[in-house]
Each structure stands twice: as structure tokens, then as C-alpha cells.
């Protein structure tokens, strides 16, 4: 099944792109071939490098962002049984920003192509069409009376297991909002943050920072800017975190907030302190990350 991302101003919508059975089969084969080239070169796996600000493009290797926020909820949209509107080729085609599908060989992998304007065919478009079978043996320059799209020869990005892979940051950012990932993340700054008198952890800050991903480190400047660790007591922060749906359980030890060694629990703490959680006004049983429709993940406390 082929999907599309429609972007009209600030509005973003995922739609289904209907295909005939033979076109669907052909597109699956093309996307699968492109996925193979994306990750491999002549049978050898390309090196995967975590994205750093300043390193925006590579041809030989693959860049990736760990713990990528799927704020478009692509993973939910492509699940079997999810009902989506079909694209309206007359009104929405010119707003088509990307096409994507689940990798035919890997259900946990989603393959994206950037849909540039030159690949969109609208009624009235002038092009060379083969007409030899009907009107002689020559090509004819003619107006196209139907709409369509032309597939690219390569993938722009791949989403898999919480990571976003790409070769060109510029092209990937035309599909996803990646502006926040241009902010540099400093291990030294994170260590200073972990030395806050309001925090404690198992081991030293220097040991704890080794568990932090770049994405987690980027939340630290926001936490420091908001200053909630200084404004509220650990007990008050714990009380407020419990109001999130599903609630975030903050552990307190010696009147200090505990920075968890568990990844999901740590991300929940950082999301809460960086004020990126927005309460739902529809009372649908969950809260969301601000500027997205990405529900807060329920954290299951690891067994001892």
C-alpha cells in the first residue's frame, strides 16, 4: 500500500494513494530495491553514523537520528486496519510532500521518497507521450488530461525502530521537522546539569551521561532555561508528573529527583522537565508532546 503526506500551510495529513494491483506490485519491488541500495553497497553494509550538527550529507554512509519523534504518527497510520482518506488528485496532488510505504521485506521499516514538484503531473501538463501504436510511429508533444506522479530512483529517508535514517539532512528536513536536531548536544553541559542539587542517580554524573543519547542531551538546555528544578521542590514535581495521562512516576531519594538508568523512564523525566508535554483538552485518556500528535508513551517500571 502506498501512502502520501499532504502539507497545506501548517496542516499536515497522511492519505492513502490508491494503486492498481500491478502498479502496487511494481512499486513494492522498486522500493525494496531502493532500500537495499540505501543500506548496502555491492553487498557490504554501509556504515551508520549518528547525526551531528554540521554533518548534513553523505553518499557512502547513512546518517541517523536516534529516538526520533514520529510527530506525524506515521507508524500508527501504516498499521493494518487503520482507515485513511484517499488522496484527492484534483485538489491535493500539488500539496503532496512525500510518498512512503512499509518495506515489503521488513514490517518494522518505513521507506520514504521526497515528492518534488517536478515529479507531480497535473492536468494540462505538457509532455512527450508515446503515440506510435495509435497514430503512426512518432512521439507527440501533447497536453496530459490526467494527474499522476513520477517515482524517484532513490529513497530520501527510512524510519525503523525509533531511528530516522537519511543521506541528506536537507532533503529529509523537507519531509520531517528536524530543526530541533540542529542544536548541538554537549556531554559536558549534561554533566553540569546532572550535578544539580535537585538530582541524584546511581553512580556519578560522568557515568550517567554515558547513558544519554544525543536526543536526550538536547533536552537539557530547555530544562535549564525553564528552571523548574529551581522553581519547584522534588515533591511538587513528583505530584505534577503524576497528573500526566498516563502518569509519569518520578522517584525521590533523599529529597532529590532520581535520574533513572532505564531509558524510557529517563526520557519521560526529561520530557516532563523540558515542558514538552501538553494536556489534552478532549479528555481522550492521554496527553501529548507539544507541537505534535504523538501520545506520551506509558513507562513500565523495570523489574528488579
pLDDT of residue 281: 46
What integer pLDDT is reported at residue 145 of this predicted model? 63
pLDDT given at position 59: 79
Average pLDDT value over all residues in the chain: 82
Which pLDDT score is estimated for 282? 45
Q: Give mean pLDDT, residues 30-47.
A: 93
pLDDT tens digits, one per residue of 163-191: 999 998 889 999 998 877 776 668 888 99
Instruction: Say how far apart CA 149 and CA 5 lie, in whole Å.
Output: 13
Using the predicted structure, report yes or no on whether residue 79 has a pLDDT greater than 60: yes
Residue 222: per-residue pLDDT: 78
Task: Provide the pLDDT for residue 276.
Answer: 56
Query: What are the pLDDT digits (tens) for 241-262?
Result: 888 877 889 999 999 999 999 9
pLDDT tens-digit map of 192-246: 999 999 999 999 999 999 999 888 888 888 788 677 888 889 999 999 888 887 7
**Paired sense of beta strands 48-50 and 62-65, if any:** parallel
Give the bridge partners for 142, in sequence order: 127
Secondary structure in 3-state letters for the chain: CEEEEEEECCEEEEEEECCCHHHHHHHHHHHHHHHHHHHEECCEECCEEECCCCCCECCCCEEEECCCCCCCCHHHHCCCCCCCCECCCCCCHHHEEEEEEEECCEEEEEEEEECCHHHEECCCCEEEEECCCCCCCCEEEEECCCCEECCCCCCCEEEECCEEEECEHHHHHCCCCCHHHHCCCCHHHHHHHHCCCCEECCCCHHHHHHHCCHHHHCCHHHHHHHCHHHHCCHHHHHHHHCCCCCCCCCCEECCEEECCCCHHHHHHHHHHHCCCEECCCCCCCCCEECCCCCECCCCCCCCC
| Average pLDDT of span 21-47 | 92
The whole-number pLDDT of residue 32 equals: 94
- Rounded CA-CA distance 183/193 in Å is 17
Note the pLDDT of residue 289: 52
* CA angle (278, 283, 289) in 5-degree steps: 20
The beta-carbon contacts of 162-165 under 8 Å, at least 24 apart in sequence, are 162/66, 162/67, 162/68, 163/64, 163/65, 163/66, 163/67, 163/68, 164/64, 164/65, 164/68, 165/38, 165/39, 165/48, 165/62, 165/63, 165/64
Percent of the chain with pLDDT over 90: 43
Could you tell me the pTM of the whole model?
Answer: 0.65
Bridge-partner residues for 82, per DSSP?
Answer: none
* pLDDT tens string 103-119: 999 999 999 999 887 77
pLDDT of residue 291: 47
- Check residue 253 and give its pLDDT: 95
Model pLDDT for residues 190-200, shown as the tens digit of each residue? 999 999 999 99
* For range 70-81, the mean pLDDT: 89
Amino acid at each position: 500500500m502506498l501512502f502520501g503526506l499532504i502539507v497545506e500551510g501548517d496542516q499536515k495529513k497522511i492519505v492513502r494513494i490508491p494503486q492498481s494491483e500491478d502498479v502496487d506490485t511494481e512499486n513494492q519491488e522498486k522500493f525494496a530495491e531502493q532500500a537495499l541500495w540505501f543500506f548496502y553497497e555491492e553487498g557490504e553494509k554501509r556504515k551508520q553514523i549518528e547525526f551531528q550538527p554540521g554533518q548534513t550529507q553523505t553518499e557512502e554512509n547513512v546518517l541517523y537520528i536516534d529516538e526520533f519523534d514520529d510527530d506525524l504518527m506515521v507508524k500508527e497510520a501504516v498499521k493494518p486496519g487503520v482507515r485513511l482518506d484517499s488522496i484527492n488528485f484534483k485538489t491535493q496532488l500539488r500539496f503532496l510532500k512525500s510518498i512512503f510505504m512499509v518495506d515489503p521485506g521488513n514490517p518494522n521499516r518505513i521507506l520514504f521518497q521526497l515528492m518534488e514538484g517536478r515529479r507531480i503531473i497535473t492536468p494540462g501538463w505538457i509532455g512527450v507521450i508515446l503515440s506510435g501504436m495509435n497514430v503512426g510511429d512518432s512521439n507527440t508533444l501533447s497536453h496530459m488530461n490526467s494527474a499522476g506522479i513520477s517515482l524517484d530512483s532513490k529513497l530520501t529517508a527510512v524510519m525503523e525502530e525509533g531511528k530516522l535514517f537519511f543521506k541528506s539532512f536537507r532533503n529529509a528536513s523537507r519531509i520531517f521537522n528536524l530543526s530541533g536536531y540542529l542544536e548541538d548536544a554537549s556531554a559536558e553541559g549534561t554533566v553540569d546539569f546532572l550535578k544539580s542539587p535537585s538530582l541524584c542517580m546511581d553512580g556519578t554524573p560522568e557515568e550517567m551521561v554515558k547513558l544519554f543519547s544525543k536526543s536526550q542531551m538536547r533536552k537539557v538546555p530547555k530544562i535549564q532555561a525553564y528552571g523548574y528544578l529551581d522553581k519547584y521542590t522534588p515533591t511538587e514535581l513528583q505530584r505534577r508528573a503524576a497528573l500526566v495521562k498516563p502518569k509519569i512516576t518520578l522517584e525521590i531519594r533523599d529529597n532529590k529527583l532520581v535520574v533513572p538508568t532505564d531509558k524510557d523512564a529517563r526520557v519521560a523525566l526529561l520530557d516532563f522537565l523540558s515542558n514538552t508535554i501538553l494536556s489534552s483538552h478532549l479528555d481522550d485518556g492521554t496527553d501529548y508532546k507539544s507541537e505534535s500528535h504523538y501520545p506520551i508513551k506509558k513507562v513500565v517500571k523495570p523489574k528488579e
